[in-house]
Chain A
């Protein structure tokens, strides 16, 4: 899967979880850029991403995401 395709699906996940159709994420996006992205929503986001791509993050990974780009790197390595 190309990085663009991953982003296409990932944007859908973000739009669903934050219920905002205008959200677009990129490599440099962090929790600071999205108003509702707090630690509780982070859980929902991770679970939704796992479902969408049918993958499982391990504990170290979930703790280490610094931005969306790092999450995408892991997704690509997993699928």
Chain B
């Protein structure tokens, strides 16, 4: 829903939130259901209501537990059967500097203040430890916003007696915890409040009047940020940019103005702004954001522009370049198809509102943010939270490379008549093993990101994955694939549940970037081997259709399973009986187990 995209209209959201909710729920789209517990240090009602809107808009249907007013500590630390029965998928601790028990006073010694700091730190650390051991779910915690007055004036920042200093040091302890705990995320209200304007954000009126520790008008910004963290945890980030060229990456029209006359570079102010924007786009590739071009231009002219001496972005930074006169919605769909990702995981950036309209009208789910004037591009994209980062896996960092390698593979394939000759020429090596600690983040991420090659579309948090890995009743397998062009990283995951001496496949997923490489056969071989070792004779497969996984409808049949049940929703159940004559199906990948 456009009204919920950044930059949004706060007044509209605040006054019409009930109607917005009604409209979102009426669109009948399929959403994943998640249970979110909000443990508040102040009133959280509106934060919850507006968070619900943003989550619904991201395809997540939340169910909430909300602590009684200012009961975050009690709810976290003591016996709480209601919260235990609720079984949260996420716990959000919504506190503010209003919850600080005691600030330093001017008479306090350094030691006194260190003790105060330790007390506050220990209080929060014990809350988080207690919650994570009890609920094993991701935790989102507000850091502290700066105080709304400064007793010492500017010295409040540097003097150990200052509140600014105290809160800053406390925040550092929060970050230290975040750095050492995978399932712990900071909601950076220190930044959000500064961005909003601290004076407005912490207007004491709202605390004394309604016990909100922030301005009610600022709540949509807080809720939006929480929603971004949550959708990122559940793998709903965008994966790449599709960028226009003229008046987006540089000023002017390359086809008319020529390379020497487009506006780009440090010589004058407008050129500097485009240069800064290009640097920002380039920076996002460090997070694994993939770059593509969709421009109405002759291809030769587009290349000419990218070879401009001040262009930070070069031809090689892009995975797919479409510079032609086709409609941009058609180009965008082709870009998505050629790199094997869903169109809706791409973000379309174009200065022209008409192009944005055509693309969003014809490609459902694609977002084309209102980027404003060129000096506003970065702010409008960055604050949209499209690439909100909760984990940085090494695969993310390499993603651009991987997609480029894929294009090289496609070129190689074109030179072989026989497909298995081509596969052999790739010199593929695979590691297929039970889940290992270093890959937990990537495995969880894959379970949340894979939509197409996904038989059951079950989602797992990292905590879930860690739990399954330790459980003797489960067979777990991850598969990595390397070939002569590069390392694809972890690309496939199987979770099998052992029940009464039989194996039920809870999850079988594979990244679409390794389709048609026989990796699915290598995984099958490994699964059969694991089952044999556990004396399991029968493997049951399940296929649950979604709007996106039609490509694996006949997957089990292809693997030699026999269908034994089908219901009216198209859910199918399959059986594979292992006998001694099982021959490995994969012959093109060298597997290390």
Contacts and interface: CB of A to CB of B under 8 A. Distances in A.
A4 B46 CA distance: 31
Interface stretch (B121-129, B208-216, B268-276, B334-342): B208-216
A43 B211 CA distance: 10
Contact of B15 (A40, A43, A51, A59): A51
Given A59-B209, A62-B209, A48 B15 contact: yes
What band does the interface of chain A fall in when counting residues whose beta carbon is under 8 Å from B? 10 to 19
B102 interface: no
- What class of interface size applies to chain B in its complex with A? 10 to 19
B22 interface: yes
Contacts of A72: none
B11 interface: yes
B217 interface: yes
Contacts of B2: none
A18 interface: yes
Contacts of A40: 43, 45-46
A44 B16 CA distance: 10
B205 A59 contact: yes
B208 A59 contact: yes
Most buried by B among A19, A47, A59: A47
B26 to A, nearest CB: 13
A68 B353 CA distance: 44
A47 B208 contact: no
Interface in A38-72: 40, 43-44, 47-48, 51, 59, 62
SS class of chain A's interface: helix, strand, loop or mixed?
Answer: helix
Given A59-B208, A62-B209, A47 B14 contact: yes
Contact of A13 (B15, B46, B217): B15
Given A19-B19, A43-B216, A51 B209 contact: no
Interface string B26-46: 000000000000000001011
A51 B45 contact: no
A62 B208 CA distance: 12
Contacts of A51: 11, 14-15
A16 interface: yes
B484 interface: no
A44 B216 CA distance: 8
A51 B212 CA distance: 18
Nearest to A47: B216
Interface in B180-215: 205, 208-210, 212
Interface string A2-37: 000000000001001111000000000000000000
Contacts of A16: 15-16, 18-19
Interface in B204-233: 205, 208-210, 212, 216-217
Nearest to A43: B210
Contacts of A17: 15, 18
Interface in B466-511: none
Contacts of B43: 40
Contacts of B212: 43
Given A51-B14, A59-B208, A59-B209, A43 B19 contact: no
A42 B79 CA distance: 33
A17 B16 CA distance: 6
A50 B171 CA distance: 35
Nearest to B204: A59
Given A43-B46, A59-B208, A19 B216 contact: no
Interface in B356-402: none
B311 to A, nearest CB: 45
Contacts of A13: 15
Task: Indicate the member of A13, A17, A43, A48 with the most B CB atoms within 10 Å.
Answer: A43
B46 A44 contact: yes
What are the nearest 6 A-B pairs in CB distance? Answer: A19-B18, A48-B15, A16-B15, A40-B45, A43-B210, A47-B216
Interface of B: 11, 14-16, 18-19, 22, 43, 45-46, 205, 208-210, 212, 216-217
Interface of A: 13, 16-19, 40, 43-44, 47-48, 51, 59, 62
Given A16-B16, A43-B46, A43-B212, 13 more contacts: A16-B15, A16-B19, A18-B18, A19-B18, A19-B19, A40-B45, A43-B210, A44-B14, A44-B216, A47-B216, A48-B15, A59-B209, A62-B209
